[in-house]
Every structure is written in structure tokens, then in C-alpha cells.
Amino acid sequence: MAAKGTTVNALASMRSDLSRRKQLDKVFAIVGLAVMLGCLLILLVLFVDLVRNGWPRLTYEFFTSFPSRRAANAGILAAWVGTSLIMVVTAVCAVPVGVAAAIYLEEYAPKNWFSAVVEINVTNLAGVPSIVYGLLALGLFVYQFNLGQSIAAAGFTLALLILPVVIVSTREAIRSVPKTIREAAYGLGATRWEVTKDHVLPYSTGGILTGMILGLSRAIGETAPIITIGALSFIAFLPSSPFTSEPPYISFQWLSDPFTAMPIQMFNWVSRPDPKFQANAAAAGAVLLVMTLLMNGIAIWIRYRFRKKINW
Amino acid sequence: MGNSLQANTDKPVSSGFGAPNRALLRYRKWRDRLVEVVLLLSGLVAVFTTLAIVIVLLYESSAFFEHVSLKEFFTDTMWTPLFADAHYGILPLVAGTITTTMVALVIAVPLGTTIAIYLSEFAPTKVRESVKPILELLGAVPTVVFGYFALKFVTPALQYFMPDLPGFNMLSAGLVIGLMIVPYVSSVSEDAMRAVPRYMREGSYAMGATRLQTALRVVVPGAFSGLAAAYILGISRAVGETMVVAIAAGMQPNFTFDPREQAATITAYIVQVSLGDLPHDSIGYQSIFAVGLVLMFITLCFNILGFSLTRKFREAY
């Protein structure tokens, strides 16, 4: 009888132990989900807060006015034009170099110490704080190369900053192309560059585009490096136009013009004590956030589309 | 993409059966060499960037250290390079950096780890695939926007509970930096946890363990080096974060570890000087390179440690 009693007791305690453990398991599943949703909620709160505070300023005039001493007249014309031009320079510099470096590392690099050095450098550059790139640009581009506080200097700086992003995502895309495709092309007598150009790269387009957009979306919001090179925040004129009425119809004068950019403009407004300017800051922030999220959304969509389309 | 499989059918590869066009073959080989050189040069850009960073920082700060002894730089407890009574002790800036980073970690480590455990061990594939990109958006928000959020939303919210909290404080800056690095910490941790082989989990399940027990006693210890890497890389990001602290923590160097006070970090000081119009050869201008060198050194140490740990967990199984 006694033996039976202990068995029953043991069984009962095992059962209660099991149900307790299962309960804990369920609790954690809920906590985990809640934490995740909480983080997403913060993103939402952030956005709503910006839009709510900036709403009265989000008018057509806001996009077509220069900064002004009076908050109600100030706009982001110079800022978004500056940002767009910087992004052109950044993309033109970072994308070809980044893709080429990625191709080299994936398709060409022999396994030796030299490739290892390049590889370590790329990983390391991805972790360098953005403001250090600003210091590099200040010492090198602004003073050594005498580019001054120009659009070119800002564009080059951000290009270096996003280079690791472009390299890493291009490498991932290239790596996911199966070896068999390369071997088939080599088998038909193609050279290494022909294999890369005609087979590997077309299949990697999705990944490369994703990397490029993600890189640019990071560059568009970067403030610290541009402040470091000494961008002015009060600019009531536009850079000279890239297009002219006389031949050769294209001018590169804008590259050496002073500029302001969206994040700089927003920072300038945030740091003013006058609360009227805070609404401007919120409006500029909302525009900046929408631009960033839109670019990220497009990148996610492209990645998804390409992944679905390719069936090896 | 389909047509990419057709090679250059428009170019004759040979002039006749068995008689390859030697000129064309030579051209193709020559072109291949040229392309390889161009690609190699692009790869070298990364090496040159690193070199340039080190050289610029060393060169510009060498002028600073001609005026300021290393002893003063590392032991003086005042940082007032722009005042008449100039002191050049980096300790206050380091204290500010450590404090904001610690606050950020208090947020990022528990949240990031919880999310990683949930995504790796609990969430159905569909949830994981759809939530992860959205979570990464949190890390994509421009830092200046986060700075605004810290100053105009988090600080007033905190002041509701702590009426004495000043308008600029390291607490709200640190909290927001923590939020910002949550996606990064969780994504590296999740990678590490998913690298733990399936059979280890199955062994644990077979012993009657629940998902939570398996996660905490098998997966987390198994992914330990990866988790450590995630935290260390998170620290490196928090240390290098600039705009949030520049906006929300004030820019006054203040030797304190109390997060409720305002203080400047290394990065905030660089911003402060850059906003002014200092002449090229002034000591204030040179000082930002000296503190930049320290910042670079700190983040480099954490990065090297973090990346060597991630390599470890990738090799372990």
C-alpha cells in the first residue's frame, strides 16, 4: 500500500512539475511575442509622434522654401536638393567599386594572405563608427584634396561609409549562385570574366540592387560624418544646376558647391530652443523617415521577388 | 533572367571547325587580365580606406600630442579645450560614453536576447520571415530622428516619473540607443542560436524538456560565444553612436557616471567642435582627431573581439 502511495505521489508531483514547466513555456512564448511587438510599436509611436508634431508644417511650401529665420516660412528645398545630389555622387562611386570588390573577393581572389587582408578590412570597415569616416573626410577630402565643404566631399565620404554594405550584400548574392552554372559556362570555353558577366551577375542582380538601396538608405540618414566635414545648415540657395542651356549642356560645377542635407537641416532645427522650430524638425524627420522606410521597403520587396523568381 | 544563360552567341568563337580564331582568343584572355586588375583595385579601396583612417587620425592627433602630454590626456578629469583655462583630460568624455553605453546595454541585451530566443526557438517560420525585416527597419531609422525621439518624446515621458530629470540627460539617450541596437543584437544572437545543431535540441526534447528549457539550457549555452559576440558588437555600435547623444544628452563634458545627468560623449564632442568654425591648425581642431583616435581604438578592440567570436561559433558545429 505504502509503495503504491509513493508512486501516486511521485506521479502527481511529476504531473504538477510538467504542467508548471509547460506553463512557463507558454508564458515565455507570450513574453517573447510581446517584446517583439513592443519594439515594432515603438517604431509606430516614433512615426506617429513625428507626423503629429510636424503635420501643420507638411505643406507644399515646406518642400519649396529655403530655410528662414522665421519658423513658419522655413522649408527644406535646399536640404532635399542637397541630399539628392549627394546620393547621386554616393551611388556613382560606391556601387561600381563595391560590386567590383565583391566580384573580386568571391570569384577571383586566390586563397592567400592578401585576400585575407582585404576581407578583414571589409569586415572591419563595417564596424567603424560613422563619425570616424567624417574625421577621415575632414582630414583627407576637405583639407588634403582641397575639396572644401562641397557636395563631392560629402558624396565621397558617404560612398566610403556604405561600401561595406554594398560589398557584403553583393557577395551574398554572388555566393548563392550555384557552382554548376559556372562549371557549365567554363565547360563551354568561357573565360572567367565571361562567366561572371554573362551568368553570375545577371543572377545576382536582385541581391546587388538590394544592397545598393540599403546602402543608400543608410547614407541618406547619416548626419554625423556630414556635420564633421563642416556642412552649413543655413543655405538659402541651390547648388548650380547640372544642366545648362549651352553646349555641352551638362555642368559639374555643383560638385564643388556648398550644400545642406536633410539630416543636417533637421538637426539644426532640433537644436534650436524656439518650440516653433521643433515642428519643422518633426516635419523634416517625418519626410526623412518616410524616405528611409520606403527605400527599405523596396529593398525587401526586391529581395522577395528575386528569391521567388529563381528556381535552381 | 532566362536569357542570361545564352552566352555570346552573336560573336563567332571560332573561324572554322578545329581552327580557333587565335586573335579573338588572345583578345579574350587579355581582356580577362585587364578586368582582374580593375577588380583587384576596387578590392584595394577597402584596404586604402582603413589605412587612410589610421594615417589621418595619427597625423592630425600627433600635432595635438605635441601640446598635450599623454599623462594629462589620460589622467586629467577636466575636458575644456575650448576654454581659456584649457584642460585636456579625456576621462569625462570616456565616462559619458561608458554611461550611455551601459544604459543602452541594459535595454538591448534583455530585449535582444528575448527576441532572438523567441524567433529562433518559438516563432513559426512564417512569423519569423515576416517580422524580421520589419524589426530591421527599427535599425534603419536615421539616428537624427532617434535623437529627436529621445529629446522630445522619451525625456518628457521620463520626466513624468522623475520630475527632477534635466532636459538633457544620458538616460534617455542611452535608452534610445539601446532600442536602436536591439535588432542588431537579436539578429546576431539568432544566427548563433540557429547554428546550434538540431540533434542537440532533439536530445533535450526527448528527455522531456519544454521549448523554454531547451532554449535556456541547451541552445543558449551552445550559442554562448555567438551571444557574447552579439553583445560586444552591440557595445561597439553604442560607443560609436553620435547623433542621439549629441541631441539628447547635451554637449557639456561632465565627469559623472550618473545617467540622470547631462554629459558629452567622445562622439558628441566631435560634433560640438565641428559645428563651430575652428581654424584648421587650432588645438581644438586637432583635439577631435585625438579623441577620434581613442574612439577608433575602442571600437576596433570590440569589433575584433566580436568578429573572432562569431567566427568561432560558425566553426564550432
CB contact set of B177 (below 8 Å; sequence gap of 6+): B100, B101, B103, B104, B108, B146, B238, B241, B244, B245
Q: Indicate the SS3 state at residue A243.
A: strand
> Is B52 a residue whose pLDDT tops 60?
yes
Instruction: pLDDT tens for chain A, 312 residues: list them.
Output: 556 677 888 888 888 888 888 899 999 999 998 998 898 899 899 999 889 888 887 777 777 777 777 777 777 888 888 899 899 999 999 999 999 999 999 888 888 888 888 888 888 888 899 999 999 998 888 888 878 788 888 999 999 999 999 999 899 889 888 899 999 999 998 888 889 989 899 888 888 888 899 899 989 988 889 988 877 666 766 777 767 666 676 666 777 777 888 888 888 888 887 888 888 888 899 999 999 999 988 988 888 887 776 666
A139 to chain B: which residues are within 8 Å by CB?
56-57, 59-60, 289
Burial tier of B67 (Cβ tally within 10 Å: 0-12, 13-18, 19+): middle
Residue range B149-179, pLDDT digits in tens: 999 899 998 889 888 888 889 999 999 999 9
Report ipTM for this prediction. Answer: 0.87
Give the number of other Cβ atoms within 10 Å of residue A292's Cβ: 21
Whether B140 sits inside 8 A of A108 (CB atoms) is: no
With CA atoms as reference, the chain A residue closest to B121 would be A29
Kind and range of the H or E run holding B15: strand B14-16
Tens-digit pLDDT profile for residues A199-224: 899 888 888 888 899 899 989 988 88
Contact A43 B152 (CB under 8 A): no
Contacts of B36 in chain A (CB under 8 A): 104, 108, 192-193
Given a contact cutoff of 8 angstroms between Cβ atoms, the answer to whether A131 and A225 are in contact is: yes
When pLDDT is cut at 50, 70 and 90, the band that residue B58 belongs to is: very high
**This prediction's pTM:** 0.87
Q: Report how far apart, in Å, the C-alpha atoms of B262 and of each of B224, B245, B287, B295 are.
A: 35, 10, 21, 20
Of all residues in chain A, the one with the smallest CA distance to B240 is A129
For B134, nearest residue in chain A (alpha carbons): A40
To the nearest whole angstrom, how far is the Cα of B307 from the nearest Cα of chain A?
A: 8
Helix A151-175 and helix A201-221: axis angle, to 10°?
140
CB atoms B267 and A39 under 8 Å:
no
For residue B75, give every residue at least 6 positions away whose Cβ sits within 8 Å of its Cβ, in sequence order, or none.
B89, B91
Cα end-to-end distance, chain B, whole Å: 36
Choose between B3 and B89: higher pLDDT.
Answer: B89
Q: Which residue out of A39, A48, A203 would a mutagenesis test of the B interface target, given it has the greatest number of B Cβ atoms within 10 Å?
A: A39
User: What are all long-range contacts of B45-50, with beta carbons under 8 Å and residues at least 24 apart?
Assistant: B45/A97, B45/A101, B45/A163, B46/A101, B46/A118, B46/A121, B46/A122, B46/A125, B46/A163, B46/A164, B46/A167, B47/A117, B47/A118, B47/A121, B49/A121, B49/A125, B49/A136, B49/A160, B49/A163, B50/A121, B50/A124, B50/A125
Average pLDDT, chain B: 85
3 state SS of B162: coil
| A69: number of Cβ within 10 Å | 7
Query: A2 to chain B, minimum CA–CA distance in Å?
Result: 28
Nearest CB among B8, B44, B131 relative to A36 is that of: B131
Amino acid at A271: S
Q: Do A29 and B149 touch (CB under 8 A)?
A: no
Report CA-CA distances (Å) from A5 to A11, A14, A16, A32. 10, 14, 16, 40
How far B257 CA sits from the closest chain A CA (Å)? 23
CB contact under 8 A, B45 and A267: no
Q: What residues does each domain of chain B span?
A: 22-66, 91-316
A:44-73 residues touching chain B, CB 8 A cutoff: 45-46, 49-50, 53
A148 lies within 8 A of chain B by CB? no
Chain B residues with beta carbon closer than 8 angstroms to that of A164:
46
Q: What is the 3-state secondary structure of A39-74?
A: HHHHHHHHHHHHHHHHHHHCCHHHHHCCCCCCHHHC
According to CATH, what is the number of the domain A58-309?
A: 1.10.3720.10
Residue length of chain A: 312
A 104-133 near B (Cβ less than 8 A): 104-105, 108-109, 117-118, 121-125, 127-133
Name residue A243's beta-bridge partners.
A250
Cα distance from A241 to chain B (closest Cα, Å)? 27
Q: What are B243's three cell numbers? A: 547623433
Q: Do A131 and B303 touch (CB under 8 A)?
A: no
pLDDT for res B25: 83
What are the chain B neighbours of A266 within 8 Å (beta carbons)? 144-145, 148
Residues of B in contact with A287 (CB under 8 A): none
CATH class in words for B91-316: mainly alpha
Q: Which residues of B touch A43 (CB under 8 A)?
A: 134, 137-138, 141
**Is the Cβ pair B295, A223 closer than 8 Å?**
no
Which grid coordinates are listed for B251? 554637449
Mark yes or no for CB contact A127/B233 under 8 Å.
yes
List the single best residue of B41, B42, B278 to mutate versus A (max A Cβ within 10 A). Answer: B42
Q: What angle do CA A137, A143, A146 make, to 5 degrees?
A: 105
User: Among residues 190-229 of chain A, which lie with CB inside 8 Å of chain B?
Assistant: 190-194, 198-199, 202-203, 205, 214, 217-218, 220-224, 227-229
